[in-house]
């Protein structure tokens, strides 16, 4: 890749058929800056949300349902972070963090995951648009990084051996984050034990060992193409298939029309109770930090009735 070219805001998949493994690499740049810029996060919270967004993009981009949504969420009343939410749908990413500024001020400059959350859990939810099905897995927020909890999710909820690495960097040009996800897949289920239930299978140990050599600085280096990273890891394998690329964009779905439709579902007296002295309801989108002023008199009863049937 030419030195002036930056490979950012996309993900690629790859497969290693002879080892029954698949992988995903993602790198975020301007998309990350756009999401983080909506809130003036302190460095520790900024790095946490960057990792969460990277993990959400890694796992979400494996969805075969183009209109499906993946949401990662954790909340706690014991630590600095009260709520962290990220979601992915069709290449669109969004996320935000609610935190206690006073507790953060008392925490170390580089707080541990336990210092940020205390005892908490990570929930990963899949909403499949094609079938209308919803799946959720919940795992303890253990380990040093959010990536450790994602590995636990796949091992416990999906019974798929998984290796995850995330790198983050920030300079005058902005934030860059990259992530690697490797998984061992079943060879077959008829007449044999499913391979993906065996964490010590030699095929998986080989792939995981190679994955562990990927530097977090490489993942966050926009001068290295994603295809180059795959080649660096698996250039000695006889067959590595690079799959389709997915572009990543900031995807907050707030809009004046959507907010009007939601408010119209409330009874007229409740809508008036929400309004200020000027008859305006201010709706704040937590994801993009945009405030939408809605005149309560602009929400008619006919809108409310019509919307209930949408």
The CA R_g of the chain, rounded to the nearest whole Å, is 22
Residues paired with residue 280 on neighbouring β-strands, in sequence order: 295
Distance of alpha carbon 244 from alpha carbon 164, whole angstroms? 20
- Asked if 261 contacts 307 with a C-beta cutoff of 8 angstroms, the reply is yes
Give the chain's residues under pLDDT 50: 1-3, 188-196, 301-310
Which position has the token pair 């590595």? 240
Query: Who's near 64: CB < 8 A, 6+ residues apart?
Result: none
| Per-residue pLDDT, 300 | 58
Model pTM score: 0.84
Phi-psi group of 278: left, alpha or beta (phi > 0 → left; psi -120 to 50 → alpha; rest → beta): alpha
- Asked if 179 contacts 217 with a C-beta cutoff of 8 angstroms, the reply is no
Query: Half-sphere exposure (CA, 13 Å, Cβ side) for 97?
Result: 27
For 130-146, what is each residue's pLDDT tens digit? Answer: 888 999 999 999 888 99
| Per-residue pLDDT, 130 | 85
| Per-residue pLDDT, 127 | 92
Residues paired with residue 89 on neighbouring β-strands, in sequence order: 69, 92
- Asked if 159 contacts 197 with a C-beta cutoff of 8 angstroms, the reply is yes
Domains and CATH numbers, the chain: 10-250 (3.55.30.10), 256-307 (3.90.1280.10)
| Three-state DSSP class for residue 206 | helix
Alpha-carbon 36 to chain mean position? 13
CA distances for 43 relative to 46, 122, 168, 261, 273, angstroms: 5, 22, 12, 37, 38
């Amino acid at each position: 890749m030419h030195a002036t070219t930056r490979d950012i805001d996309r993900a690629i998949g790859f497969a290693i058929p002879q080892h029954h493994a698949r992988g995903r690499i993602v790198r975020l740049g301007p998309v990350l800056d756009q999401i983080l810029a909506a809130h003036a996060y302190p460095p520790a919270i900024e790095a946490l949300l960057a990792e969460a967004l990277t993990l959400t993009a890694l796992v979400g981009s494996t969805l075969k349902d183009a209109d499906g949504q993946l949401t990662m969420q954790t909340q706690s009343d014991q630590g600095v972070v009260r709520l962290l939410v990220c979601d992915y749908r069709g290449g669109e990413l969004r996320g935000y963090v609610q935190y206690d500024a006073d507790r953060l001020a008392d925490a170390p400059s580089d707080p541990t995951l336990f210092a940020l959350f205390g005892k908490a859990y990570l929930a990963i939810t899949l909403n499949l648009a094609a079938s209308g099905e919803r799946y959720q897995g919940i795992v303890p927020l253990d380990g040093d990084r959010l990536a450790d909890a994602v590995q636990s999710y796949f091992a416990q909820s999906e019974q798929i051996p998984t290796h995850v690495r995330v790198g983050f960097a920030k300079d005058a040009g902005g934030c860059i984050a990259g992530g690697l996800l490797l998984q061992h897949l079943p060879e077959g289920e008829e007449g044999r034990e499913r391979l993906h239930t065996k964490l010590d299978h030699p095929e998986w140990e080989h792939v995981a060992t190679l994955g562990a050599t990927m530097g977090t600085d490489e993942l966050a280096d926009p001068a290295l193409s994603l295809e180059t990273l795959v080649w660096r890891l698996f250039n000695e394998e006889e067959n590595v298939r690079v799959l389709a690329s997915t572009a990543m964009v900031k995807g907050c779905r707030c809009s004046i029309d959507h907010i009007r439709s939601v408010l119209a579902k409330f009874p007229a007296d409740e809508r008036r109770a929400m309004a200020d002295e000027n008859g305006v309801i201010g709706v704040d989108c937590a994801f993009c930090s945009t405030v939408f002023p809605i005149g309560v008199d602009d929400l008619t009863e006919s809108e409310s009735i019509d919307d209930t049937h949408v």
